[in-house]
Amino acid sequence: MINEKIIVALDTDSVEQARTIITVLGEKGIFYKVGISLFTKAGPDFIKEIVGMGKKVFLDMKFFDIPNSMLLASIAGAELGVEIINYHCLAGEKPLKEVKDLLTEYCSKKSIKLPYLIGVTVLTSVENEGNMKDVVLRMCHIAKNAGLDGVVCSTMELNAIKEQYGIEFKTVVPGIRMPENQMDDQKRSGTPFSAFTQGADYIVVGRPIIKAVNPRNALENIIADAEKALV
């Protein structure tokens, strides 16, 4: 089901707006991203609320700290039932591997589902420069060797990542825009169709949905564009 691969970014500091978006999207919205702005405002209780609705959550906190701090935060996320947790690849291969191994052990002992652990490469708001693909691939190398499940990347690096690391290495692609959408601060963007055609496992869409006059209609248009890639 393509809806499960489209993550709606609740990039707002308003719990009321986030709750309204989830309600309006209804059964069409299955997967939601909670980032630093909403988490700082709402905290873990709102994540529990979303999970309690039967929805999936991508905890987008981009952890970058000493291993023990990242591990404790990851354990808290896993206990909340989130589907994806991410980390800056710049945290380093060894620290990230330690977090992955210890979190895996903890989840196994507690019979908790282990979330996908994803490395952040280069933000899609960063301009595409000549060596950008090489930089992203170096970050992928760190994530892969640390045992992470995949990376956050732009559509521009998808082919190279899948070619080098295989289809099992997950790719989460933000900065998604339809042709009629404003680019906002996104510099390395792509459409749902282009992302899935090139092998994206998940796409993340925020403002084109949550700022739309009709968010449900906006999501339906994104779903329709994504489904073209499955034909």
Distance CA 105, CA 114 (A): 9
What is the Rg, in whole angstroms, of the alpha carbon atoms belonging to the chain? Answer: 17
- 3-state DSSP call for residue 129? coil
Task: Single out the residue of 9, 51, 4 nearest to residue 30, CA to CA.
Answer: 4
Sign of the Cα pseudo-torsion (82, 4, 225, 180, in order): negative
Residue 109 a catalytic site member:
no
- Choosing from 5, 33, 56, 62, which is the catalytic residue? 62
Distance CA 173, CA 155 (A): 7
Residue reference for tokens 């023990």:
68
Helical (H) or strand (E) element with 140: helix 132-145
Two tokens, residue 197: 């055609």
Catalytic residues: 62
